[in-house]
């Protein structure tokens, strides 16, 4: 799950970023509207957490640009005002949700997760491949009913592959969806993470390598939980 925070109050932006990263999300940060617009133009984010009152490009205009781009990116707008008129205006601009400052962090996390589910094709609540089950909400993975401890990145890679519906996912796409903008695209990070993930999942293996293309979990090994 890739998130962009556009917030000019740097301590708040960094606090939100740290909290969302602890929740297993890949997070980028911009401290003004112009940088936020540039990042959103280059990378497809699942959710943009957007302050309305920004230096540079105003938050309202950035919201319009994101909506106009036609991407599935969802916008959670932040504002210092909780007035009904402010919320209505923000939603009219195309924001998908609205949160007034100060806010409770667990509520922010819940709203970001809910919006992220709308930013991607519909997936079942439990992702299954053979006897491997991944629960995105509880952030748990089991095999044959036994829990498997994964790092945040391993969990993210498995979640993306399971959610791809049998399609091949390239290393570049995994890097974009699971890591943030600080990741070095020329490292072996993805390959090493897939290797350790395979070891932890054990046999029989469920992740195929498609030479020259990437990785996939074949549809034949996947069934949908309910």
Q: Please give the chain's pLDDT, 226 residues, in tens.
A: 889 999 999 999 999 999 998 888 889 999 999 999 999 998 889 899 999 889 999 999 999 999 888 778 899 999 876 566 766 665 677 889 988 888 999 999 999 988 887 756 555 678 888 899 998 878 899 999 999 999 989 999 999 999 888 889 999 889 888 888 777 776 789 999 999 999 999 999 999 999 989 999 987 654 444 3
Co-location of 169 and 203 in the same domain: yes
Q: What is the CATH number of the domain that holds 83?
A: 3.40.50.2300
Q: Report yes or no: 130 and 204 within 8 Å, Cβ to Cβ.
A: yes
Q: Report yes or no: 168 and 209 within 8 Å, Cβ to Cβ.
A: no
DSSP class per residue in 192-208: HHHHHHHHHH-SS--PE
Position 226 scores a pLDDT of 36
Position 82 scores a pLDDT of 59
Q: What is the CATH number of the domain that holds 208?
A: 1.10.10.10
* Cα(28)–Cα(109) distance, integer angstroms: 15
* Dihedral angle sign, alpha carbons of residues 224, 128, 107, 2: negative
Q: Which residues have a Cβ under 8 Å from the Cβ of 209 and sit 6 or more positions away?
A: 194, 215
Co-location of 68 and 99 in the same domain: yes
Co-location of 80 and 31 in the same domain: yes
Co-location of 67 and 140 in the same domain: no
Q: How many residues does the chain have?
A: 226
* Cα(60)–Cα(210) distance, integer angstroms: 43
Last residue of a domain, one of 75, 96, 119: 119
pLDDT tens sequence across 47-89: 999 998 899 999 999 999 998 887 788 999 998 765 667 666 6
Range of the structural domain that residue 151 is part of: 127-224
How many CB atoms neighbour CB 132 within 10 A? 21
Co-location of 90 and 134 in the same domain: no
Position 93 scores a pLDDT of 76
Domain count, the chain: 2
pLDDT tens sequence across 187-200: 789 999 999 999 99
Number of H helices, E strands in the chain: 8, 12
Q: Which residues have a Cβ under 8 Å from the Cβ of 76 and sit 6 or more positions away?
A: 47, 48, 49, 50, 95, 96, 97, 98, 99, 108, 111, 112, 115
Co-location of 131 and 107 in the same domain: no
Co-location of 153 and 100 in the same domain: no
Co-location of 114 and 140 in the same domain: no
Co-location of 15 and 86 in the same domain: yes
Co-location of 109 and 137 in the same domain: no
Last residue of a domain, one of 96, 119, 142: 119
Co-location of 113 and 131 in the same domain: no
Co-location of 8 and 98 in the same domain: yes
Last residue of a domain, one of 67, 91, 119: 119
């Amino acid at each position: 799950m890739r998130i962009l925070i556009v917030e000019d109050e740097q301590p708040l932006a960094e606090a939100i970023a740290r909290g969302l990263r602890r929740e297993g999300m890949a997070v980028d940060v911009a401290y003004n509207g112009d940088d936020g617009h540039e990042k959103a133009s280059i990378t497809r984010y699942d959710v943009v957490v957007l302050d309305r009152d920004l230096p540079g490009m105003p938050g309202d205009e950035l919201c319009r640009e994101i909506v106009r781009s036609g991407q599935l990116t969802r916008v959670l707008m932040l504002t210092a005002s909780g007035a009904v008129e402010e919320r209505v205006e923000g939603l009219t601009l195309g924001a998908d949700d609205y949160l007034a400052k100060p806010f409770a962090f667990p509520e922010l996390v819940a709203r970001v997760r809910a919006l992220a589910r709308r930013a991607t094709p519909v997936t079942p609540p439990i992702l299954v491949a053979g006897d491997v089950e991944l629960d995105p909400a509880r952030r748990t993975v089991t095999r044959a009913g036994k829990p498997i401890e994964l790092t945040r990145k391993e969990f993210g890679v498995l979640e993306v592959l399971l959610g791809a519906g049998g399609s091949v996912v390239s290393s570049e796409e995994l890097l974009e969806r699971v890591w943030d903008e600080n990741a070095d695209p020329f490292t072996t990070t993805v390959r090493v993470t897939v290797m350790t993930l395979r070891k932890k999942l054990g046999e029989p293996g469920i992740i195929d390598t498609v030479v020259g293309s990437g990785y996939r979990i074949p549809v034949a090994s996947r069934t949908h939980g309910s």
